[in-house]
Protein backbone atom coordinates (compact mmCIF):
# COMPACT_ATOMS: atom_id res chain seq x y z
CA UNK A 1 0.00 0.00 0.00
CA UNK A 2 1.27 3.50 -0.80
CA UNK A 3 2.43 5.42 2.22
CA UNK A 4 -0.03 8.13 3.24
CA UNK A 5 2.31 11.08 3.76
CA UNK A 6 -0.34 13.67 4.68
CA UNK A 7 -2.56 13.39 7.76
CA UNK A 8 -5.70 15.52 7.40
CA UNK A 9 -6.89 17.00 10.70
CA UNK A 10 -10.42 18.38 10.48
CA UNK A 11 -13.72 18.81 12.30
CA UNK A 12 -15.60 15.88 10.78
CA UNK A 13 -19.18 16.87 11.58
CA UNK A 14 -18.93 20.46 10.37
CA UNK A 15 -16.22 20.21 7.71
CA UNK A 16 -16.31 16.62 6.51
CA UNK A 17 -17.52 17.53 3.02
CA UNK A 18 -14.81 20.17 2.56
CA UNK A 19 -12.13 17.82 3.85
CA UNK A 20 -13.25 15.03 1.51
CA UNK A 21 -13.15 17.40 -1.47
CA UNK A 22 -9.65 18.56 -0.53
CA UNK A 23 -8.42 14.98 -0.14
CA UNK A 24 -10.00 13.98 -3.46
CA UNK A 25 -8.14 16.82 -5.21
CA UNK A 26 -4.79 16.03 -3.59
CA UNK A 27 -5.03 12.30 -4.28
CA UNK A 28 -6.07 12.94 -7.88
CA UNK A 29 -2.76 14.81 -8.15
CA UNK A 30 -0.70 12.01 -6.62
CA UNK A 31 -0.54 13.10 -2.96
CA UNK A 32 -1.73 10.28 -0.68
CA UNK A 33 -3.66 11.31 2.43
CA UNK A 34 -4.90 9.73 5.64
CA UNK A 35 -8.36 10.93 6.63
CA UNK A 36 -10.70 9.54 9.26
CA UNK A 37 -12.98 7.69 9.27
CA UNK A 38 -12.20 6.52 5.72
CA UNK A 39 -8.77 5.09 6.48
CA UNK A 40 -9.47 3.44 9.82
CA UNK A 41 -10.02 -0.32 9.33
CA UNK A 42 -13.20 -1.75 10.75
CA UNK A 43 -12.79 -3.15 14.24
CA UNK A 44 -9.54 -1.29 14.93
CA UNK A 45 -9.23 1.06 17.95
CA UNK A 46 -10.00 4.53 16.63
CA UNK A 47 -7.62 6.52 18.85
CA UNK A 48 -4.58 4.29 18.39
CA UNK A 49 -5.08 4.24 14.61
CA UNK A 50 -5.09 8.06 14.57
CA UNK A 51 -1.90 8.23 16.63
CA UNK A 52 -0.17 5.71 14.35
CA UNK A 53 -1.24 7.61 11.24
CA UNK A 54 0.13 10.90 12.60
CA UNK A 55 3.44 9.24 13.48
CA UNK A 56 3.73 7.74 10.00
CA UNK A 57 2.79 10.95 8.16
CA UNK A 58 5.29 13.64 7.18
CA UNK A 59 2.86 16.57 7.10
CA UNK A 60 -0.26 17.23 9.17
CA UNK A 61 -2.73 19.32 7.17
CA UNK A 62 -5.11 21.25 9.43
CA UNK A 63 -8.34 22.39 7.75
CA UNK A 64 -8.94 25.71 9.48
CA UNK A 65 -12.54 26.79 10.15
CA UNK A 66 -14.41 28.04 13.24
CA UNK A 67 -15.37 24.43 13.99
CA UNK A 68 -11.81 23.46 14.93
CA UNK A 69 -12.11 25.51 18.13
CA UNK A 70 -14.88 23.19 19.30
CA UNK A 71 -12.98 19.97 18.65
CA UNK A 72 -10.91 18.34 21.39
CA UNK A 73 -9.86 15.70 18.84
CA UNK A 74 -8.12 18.29 16.66
CA UNK A 75 -6.24 19.71 19.64
CA UNK A 76 -5.11 16.19 20.53
CA UNK A 77 -3.99 15.51 16.96
CA UNK A 78 -1.99 18.74 16.75
CA UNK A 79 -0.35 18.07 20.12
CA UNK A 80 0.67 14.58 18.98
CA UNK A 81 2.04 16.06 15.73
CA UNK A 82 4.11 18.62 17.66
CA UNK A 83 5.44 15.98 20.04
CA UNK A 84 6.51 13.88 17.06
CA UNK A 85 8.13 16.86 15.30
CA UNK A 86 5.78 16.75 12.31
CA UNK A 87 5.44 19.61 9.86
CA UNK A 88 2.05 21.31 10.22
CA UNK A 89 0.40 23.19 7.36
CA UNK A 90 -2.68 25.26 8.23
CA UNK A 91 -5.13 25.55 5.31
CA UNK A 92 -7.44 28.39 6.36
CA UNK A 93 -10.68 28.01 4.39
CA UNK A 94 -12.91 30.17 6.62
CA UNK A 95 -12.10 33.29 8.60
CA UNK A 96 -11.76 32.48 12.29
CA UNK A 97 -9.67 33.24 15.37
CA UNK A 98 -8.03 30.06 16.68
CA UNK A 99 -8.55 29.34 20.36
CA UNK A 100 -5.72 30.09 22.77
CA UNK A 101 -5.04 26.36 23.11
CA UNK A 102 -4.66 26.02 19.35
CA UNK A 103 -2.64 29.23 18.96
CA UNK A 104 -0.11 27.81 21.42
CA UNK A 105 0.70 25.08 18.89
CA UNK A 106 0.18 26.67 15.46
CA UNK A 107 0.87 30.40 15.76
CA UNK A 108 4.22 30.10 13.96
CA UNK A 109 3.30 27.32 11.54
CA UNK A 110 2.94 27.71 7.80
CA UNK A 111 -0.41 28.73 6.34
CA UNK A 112 -2.23 28.73 3.06
CA UNK A 113 -5.02 31.29 3.23
CA UNK A 114 -8.16 30.85 1.12
CA UNK A 115 -10.59 33.51 2.31
CA UNK A 116 -12.16 35.03 -0.80
CA UNK A 117 -15.21 32.75 -0.71
CA UNK A 118 -13.99 29.88 -2.87
CA UNK A 119 -11.31 27.76 -1.24
CA UNK A 120 -11.30 25.35 -4.19
CA UNK A 121 -9.39 27.76 -6.43
CA UNK A 122 -6.58 27.69 -3.86
CA UNK A 123 -6.19 23.92 -4.10
CA UNK A 124 -3.39 24.19 -6.71
CA UNK A 125 -1.58 26.50 -4.27
CA UNK A 126 -2.09 23.97 -1.48
CA UNK A 127 -0.78 21.19 -3.71
CA UNK A 128 2.33 23.21 -4.58
CA UNK A 129 3.05 23.96 -0.94
CA UNK A 130 2.64 20.32 0.08
CA UNK A 131 4.94 19.23 -2.73
CA UNK A 132 7.60 21.64 -1.49
CA UNK A 133 7.27 20.33 2.07
CA UNK A 134 7.37 16.69 0.94
CA UNK A 135 10.07 17.16 -1.68
CA UNK A 136 7.85 15.78 -4.45
CA UNK A 137 8.35 17.46 -7.84
CA UNK A 138 5.27 18.05 -9.92
CA UNK A 139 4.83 15.83 -12.94
CA UNK A 140 5.14 17.65 -16.22
CA UNK A 141 1.65 18.31 -17.44
CA UNK A 142 -0.30 20.54 -19.77
CA UNK A 143 -1.73 22.79 -17.09
CA UNK A 144 -4.87 24.70 -17.86
CA UNK A 145 -4.75 28.46 -18.13
CA UNK A 146 -6.74 28.69 -14.92
CA UNK A 147 -4.31 26.50 -13.00
CA UNK A 148 -1.41 28.65 -14.16
CA UNK A 149 -2.86 31.63 -12.31
CA UNK A 150 -1.72 30.23 -8.99
CA UNK A 151 1.76 29.98 -7.50
CA UNK A 152 3.02 29.27 -4.01
CA UNK A 153 1.83 32.78 -3.13
CA UNK A 154 -1.77 33.55 -2.23
CA UNK A 155 -3.39 36.49 -3.98
CA UNK A 156 -5.91 38.20 -1.69
CA UNK A 157 -8.25 39.86 -4.15
CA UNK A 158 -10.04 41.92 -1.52
CA UNK A 159 -6.75 43.58 -0.55
CA UNK A 160 -4.92 43.37 -3.87
CA UNK A 161 -1.79 41.81 -2.36
CA UNK A 162 0.19 38.58 -2.44
CA UNK A 163 1.04 36.73 0.77
CA UNK A 164 3.85 34.22 1.21
CA UNK A 165 2.34 31.30 3.17
CA UNK A 166 5.71 30.39 4.67
CA UNK A 167 5.86 33.51 6.83
CA UNK A 168 2.66 35.45 6.05
CA UNK A 169 4.68 38.41 4.77
CA UNK A 170 3.37 40.73 2.08
CA UNK A 171 5.12 40.29 -1.28
CA UNK A 172 5.48 43.19 -3.67
CA UNK A 173 4.61 42.70 -7.33
CA UNK A 174 6.08 44.91 -10.07
CA UNK A 175 5.95 44.77 -13.83
CA UNK A 176 9.34 43.44 -14.88
CA UNK A 177 10.16 46.57 -16.91
CA UNK A 178 9.51 48.69 -13.81
CA UNK A 179 12.00 46.61 -11.88
CA UNK A 180 14.61 46.77 -14.65
CA UNK A 181 14.19 50.54 -14.97
CA UNK A 182 14.61 50.97 -11.22
CA UNK A 183 17.80 48.89 -11.18
CA UNK A 184 19.17 50.71 -14.22
CA UNK A 185 18.56 54.16 -12.75
CA UNK A 186 20.26 53.21 -9.48
CA UNK A 187 23.21 51.81 -11.42
CA UNK A 188 23.53 54.97 -13.52
CA UNK A 189 23.40 57.21 -10.46
CA UNK A 190 26.13 55.25 -8.69
CA UNK A 191 28.29 55.08 -11.82
CA UNK A 192 27.94 58.84 -12.39
CA UNK A 193 28.84 59.59 -8.77
CA UNK A 194 31.80 57.19 -8.69
CA UNK A 195 32.58 54.87 -11.60
CA UNK A 196 31.20 51.73 -13.25
CA UNK A 197 33.51 49.43 -11.32
CA UNK A 198 32.04 50.72 -8.07
CA UNK A 199 28.49 50.35 -9.41
CA UNK A 200 29.24 46.74 -10.38
CA UNK A 201 30.59 46.04 -6.92
CA UNK A 202 27.57 47.56 -5.18
CA UNK A 203 25.18 45.51 -7.31
CA UNK A 204 27.18 42.34 -6.63
CA UNK A 205 27.21 42.98 -2.87
CA UNK A 206 23.48 43.80 -2.87
CA UNK A 207 22.70 40.57 -4.70
CA UNK A 208 24.94 38.62 -2.34
CA UNK A 209 23.14 40.02 0.72
CA UNK A 210 19.73 39.21 -0.81
CA UNK A 211 20.87 35.68 -1.66
CA UNK A 212 22.25 35.11 1.82
CA UNK A 213 18.97 36.25 3.39
CA UNK A 214 16.88 34.09 1.05
CA UNK A 215 19.15 31.07 1.48
CA UNK A 216 18.79 31.21 5.26
CA UNK A 217 15.01 31.39 5.03
CA UNK A 218 14.86 28.54 2.52
CA UNK A 219 17.14 26.43 4.68
CA UNK A 220 14.98 27.16 7.73
CA UNK A 221 11.90 25.97 5.82
CA UNK A 222 13.63 22.77 4.70
CA UNK A 223 14.87 22.05 8.24
CA UNK A 224 11.26 21.48 9.30
CA UNK A 225 11.29 18.29 7.23
CA UNK A 226 12.34 15.25 9.23
CA UNK A 227 14.59 13.93 6.45
CA UNK A 228 16.36 17.26 5.84
CA UNK A 229 19.62 16.04 7.36
CA UNK A 230 19.73 13.25 4.77
CA UNK A 231 19.48 15.68 1.85
CA UNK A 232 22.51 15.59 -0.40
CA UNK A 233 24.00 18.93 -1.49
CA UNK A 234 22.57 18.29 -4.95
CA UNK A 235 19.07 17.79 -3.48
CA UNK A 236 19.30 21.06 -1.58
CA UNK A 237 20.29 22.89 -4.76
CA UNK A 238 17.44 21.21 -6.66
CA UNK A 239 14.93 22.44 -4.06
CA UNK A 240 16.24 25.99 -4.45
CA UNK A 241 16.03 25.80 -8.26
CA UNK A 242 12.47 24.48 -8.02
CA UNK A 243 11.35 27.29 -5.71
CA UNK A 244 13.05 30.16 -7.55
CA UNK A 245 11.80 28.83 -10.89
CA UNK A 246 8.27 29.26 -9.55
CA UNK A 247 8.47 32.69 -7.94
CA UNK A 248 12.02 34.01 -8.38
CA UNK A 249 14.26 35.76 -10.88
CA UNK A 250 13.84 33.21 -13.67
CA UNK A 251 13.83 29.49 -14.45
CA UNK A 252 16.79 27.83 -12.72
CA UNK A 253 18.46 24.51 -13.49
CA UNK A 254 21.67 22.96 -12.20
CA UNK A 255 24.02 20.06 -12.89
CA UNK A 256 26.31 20.96 -10.00
CA UNK A 257 28.05 17.97 -8.41
CA UNK A 258 29.77 17.86 -5.03
CA UNK A 259 32.59 15.40 -4.37
CA UNK A 260 32.70 15.27 -0.58
CA UNK A 261 35.68 12.91 -0.49
CA UNK A 262 37.81 15.20 -2.65
CA UNK A 263 36.27 18.39 -1.27
CA UNK A 264 35.47 19.70 -4.74
CA UNK A 265 32.46 21.20 -6.48
CA UNK A 266 31.85 21.72 -10.18
CA UNK A 267 29.08 22.10 -12.71
CA UNK A 268 26.83 24.66 -14.34
CA UNK A 269 23.97 26.81 -13.17
CA UNK A 270 21.60 27.99 -15.91
CA UNK A 271 18.96 30.71 -15.74
CA UNK A 272 16.39 31.27 -18.47
CA UNK A 273 13.50 33.74 -18.53
CA UNK A 274 15.45 36.12 -16.28
CA UNK A 275 13.70 39.48 -16.64
CA UNK A 276 16.82 41.38 -15.54
CA UNK A 277 18.36 40.43 -18.89
CA UNK A 278 16.79 43.34 -20.74
CA UNK A 279 18.62 44.08 -24.00
CA UNK A 280 17.11 47.53 -24.35
CA UNK A 281 19.90 50.09 -24.93
CA UNK A 282 18.26 52.33 -22.32
CA UNK A 283 18.90 49.77 -19.58
CA UNK A 284 22.15 48.87 -17.88
CA UNK A 285 23.33 45.31 -17.59
CA UNK A 286 22.95 44.36 -13.94
CA UNK A 287 24.23 40.77 -14.13
CA UNK A 288 26.41 41.38 -11.06
CA UNK A 289 23.31 41.35 -8.87
CA UNK A 290 22.23 37.90 -10.08
CA UNK A 291 25.77 36.53 -9.78
CA UNK A 292 26.03 37.74 -6.18
CA UNK A 293 22.57 36.38 -5.36
CA UNK A 294 23.29 32.90 -6.73
CA UNK A 295 26.72 32.66 -5.10
CA UNK A 296 25.27 33.50 -1.68
CA UNK A 297 22.36 31.03 -1.92
CA UNK A 298 24.78 28.24 -2.87
CA UNK A 299 27.16 29.18 -0.06
CA UNK A 300 24.37 28.93 2.52
CA UNK A 301 22.94 25.64 1.22
CA UNK A 302 26.39 24.06 0.94
CA UNK A 303 27.45 25.01 4.46
CA UNK A 304 28.89 28.51 4.15
CA UNK A 305 31.66 27.55 1.75
CA UNK A 306 32.89 30.19 -0.69
CA UNK A 307 31.56 29.73 -4.22
CA UNK A 308 32.49 31.51 -7.42
CA UNK A 309 30.33 31.82 -10.54
CA UNK A 310 32.00 32.55 -13.86
CA UNK A 311 29.84 33.51 -16.84
CA UNK A 312 30.23 30.91 -19.60
CA UNK A 313 27.35 31.94 -21.87
CA UNK A 314 25.92 35.44 -21.88
CA UNK A 315 22.88 36.69 -23.83
CA UNK A 316 24.52 40.11 -24.02
CA UNK A 317 27.51 38.65 -25.86
CA UNK A 318 25.70 35.99 -27.89
CA UNK A 319 22.66 37.84 -29.15
CA UNK A 320 20.62 34.75 -30.03
CA UNK A 321 21.08 33.16 -26.62
CA UNK A 322 18.42 33.60 -23.99
CA UNK A 323 20.02 31.62 -21.18
CA UNK A 324 22.62 32.72 -18.64
CA UNK A 325 25.09 29.93 -17.92
CA UNK A 326 27.61 30.03 -15.09
CA UNK A 327 30.47 27.67 -14.32
CA UNK A 328 30.37 27.01 -10.58
CA UNK A 329 33.49 26.26 -8.54
CA UNK A 330 34.83 26.71 -5.03
CA UNK A 331 36.96 29.79 -4.49
**Distant-in-sequence contacts of 10-17, Cβ < 8 A, 24+ apart:** 10/35, 10/62, 10/63, 10/68, 10/74, 11/63, 11/65, 11/67, 11/68, 11/70, 11/71, 11/74, 12/36, 12/37, 13/67, 14/65, 14/67, 14/70, 15/63, 15/65, 15/67, 15/93
Model pLDDT for residues 140-154, shown as the tens digit of each residue? 433 333 443 334 555
Query: How many other C-beta atoms are found inside a 10 Å radius of the C-beta of residue 261?
Result: 6
Q: What is the pLDDT at residue 175? A: 61
| Cβ within 8 Å of residue 113, ≥6 positions away | 92, 122, 154, 156, 163, 165
The full set of domains in the chain, from first to last, is 6-171 (3.40.50.10140), 176-330 (3.30.1380.20)
Residues of the chain with pLDDT under 70: 1-2, 116, 138-177, 224-229, 247, 275-285, 316-321
Q: What is the pLDDT at residue 232? A: 87
**CA-to-CA distance for 169 and 122, rounded, in angstroms?**
18
Claim: this prediction has a pTM higher than 0.75: no
As a three-state string, the secondary structure of the chain is CCCCCEEEECCHHHHHHHHHHHHHHHHHCCCCEECCCCCCCCCCCHHHHHHHHHHHCCEEEEEECHHHHHCHHHHHHHHHHHHCCCEEEEEECCCCCCCHHHHHHHCCCEEEECCCCCHHHHHHHHHHHHHHHHCCCCCCCCCCCCHHHCCCCEEECCCCEEEECCCCEEECCCCHHHHHHHHHHHHHHHHHHCCHHHHHHHHHHHHHHHHHHHHHHHHHHHHCCCCHHHCCHHHHHHHHHHHHHHHCCCEEEECCEEECCCCEEEEEEEEECCCCCCCCCCCCCCHHHHHHHHHHHHHHHCCCCCEEEEEEECCCCCCCCCEEEEEEEEC
Model pLDDT for residues 53-68, shown as the tens digit of each residue? 999 999 999 999 999 9
Amino acid sequence: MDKKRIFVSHARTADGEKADEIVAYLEAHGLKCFIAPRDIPGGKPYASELVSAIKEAEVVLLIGTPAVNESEHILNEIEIAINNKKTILHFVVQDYVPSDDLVYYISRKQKVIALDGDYKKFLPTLENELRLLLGIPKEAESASADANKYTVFQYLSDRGIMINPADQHRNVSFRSDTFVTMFSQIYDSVADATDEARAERIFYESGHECGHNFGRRLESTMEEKSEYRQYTPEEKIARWCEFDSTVGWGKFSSDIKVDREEGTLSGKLSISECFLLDRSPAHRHVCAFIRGYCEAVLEVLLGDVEVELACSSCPYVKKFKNVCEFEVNLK
